[in-house]
Structure 1
């Protein structure tokens, strides 16, 4: 599996298509009072489709990163108990299945690793492959360090133990940053909804207030500029709160 590319399931595709179309129709009505406005808002629909895909991809990668860290912890414990590194990986699937289930991402990767070992594919090859496919820096670096240590006769038990410690510290930093910006994300989502809430409120309490902006060239231009400014603010806001360590 290439974790850098996310493919929607049929159920997800239908759900997000309906949500985006519904949102586009709503925006078109609020800003233009016409379905012709869909032509103008369609780029927003494409952006949000891509944005949802990127978010789902990040969630999957984050899930894999956590499961990989727990897998390496299990491997480290087994090696300290006297297992060889290959057998430690074989044993780790029991812990992963127990905690995350047999359908988890790391369980599938461990089955692939175990199958590869049975077919004379080296462990370092499988780890390097996982690092490349995952697009996760920690996994890629672990694979490269493991490959060098294995070929150079390094102390794998100590290296893996140190890697677990580094991953734990990285996770703590990630968690601290997430706490710091979580309130900003919430504020951003609220602010994204405010313009629509204002238009709906004024339209409901003062019918005809926006009529001069609909169905005429100048009004369409003004509303398009406002919508463009809003869209730009949404894109900028998303970039600001998307911090990677």
Structure 2
């Protein structure tokens, strides 16, 4: 089980390694340098704007967390399918997780997969005589996934009242599957819109570059006159705002 400073993984946080920070900062810095040079034609302006790349690793961390939680949700659904099969064969919940570990290793051969590490953690904690309810509750708290939290709440209630755990697990896995399918359909429909968003965001930069190459005398005052630089600054701010708004519009969560 992955541990950060002696603690179990909290999926709402991600500690980016130094190499990753440097890599993402350099990539973003290179992009900022190119765009700044196209809009200002000034190395001084490029150098002044490049430090903005230092904020990119934090933005990338948020994207990594969202992607990781989405993958964990899918892995959790697969785990429930396997767990349901083992319980239907007459095994207890505690014993069923041994079969789940074997089944999941076939679906996810990489031992570093989050759900594999979580199952191994569950098995170790069961060997230490911890209750399955407490272990799953801890997992739900760390995953910050609504589907996992809802399942654990219902699971805990079934264990206390003697409800049909097998049926609960089947229903939960079906609900998660339906949500994932809906999200995949939405992603398919939005794929073209995302491409259009990228093209529209890149078009102003491309237009400035084309004008610079094909009509250098016409656009030269923009790079040398204070009013032209102010206009370029306003254009960059509007482009950044348009990128932010368009990203929010197509960010549909199920």
User: Structure 1: which 5+ runs fail to align?
Assistant: none
Structure-2 separation of matches of 1:32 and 1:24: 12
TM-score, normalisation: structure 2: 0.90
With over 3 angstroms needed to count, the CA separation of the structure-2 counterparts of 1:48 and 1:238, relative to structure 1, is: farther
Distance in 2 of aligned mates of 1:170 and 1:164? 10
Match of 2:214 in 1: 205
Describe how 1:104-119 pairs up with structure 2 within 5 A.
104-119=113-128
Aligned to 1:236: 245
Match of 2:81 in 1: 73
Secondary structure of the structure 1 residue equivalent to 2:29: helix
- Correspondence 1:123-202 to 2 at 5 A: 123-202=132-211
Q: CA deviation at 1:41?
A: 4.0
- Aligned-residue Cα RMSD (Å) equals 1.8
Who is 2:6 aligned against? Answer: none
- 1:191 offset after TM fit, Å? 1.2
Specify whether residues 132 and 43 from structure 1 end up closer, same or farther in structure 2 by C-alpha distance, changes over 3 A only: farther
**2:107 — aligned with what?**
99
Task: Tell me if structure 2 keeps the 8 A contact 1:28–1:36.
Answer: no
Note if contact 1:192-1:234 (Cα within 8 Å) is conserved in structure 2: yes
- TM-score, structure 1 length as denominator? 0.93
> Aligned pair count?
245
Gaps of 5+ in 2: 1-8
Q: Render the CA deviation track for 1:131-168: whole Å, top value 9, x for unaligned.
A: 22112111111111111211222111111111111112
Which stretch of the first structure deviates more once superposed, 79-88 or 213-222? 213-222
Match runs of 1:14-53 below 5 Å: 14-38=22-46, 41=49, 45=53, 48-53=56-61
Tell me which of 119, 130, 142 is aligned to 1:121: 130
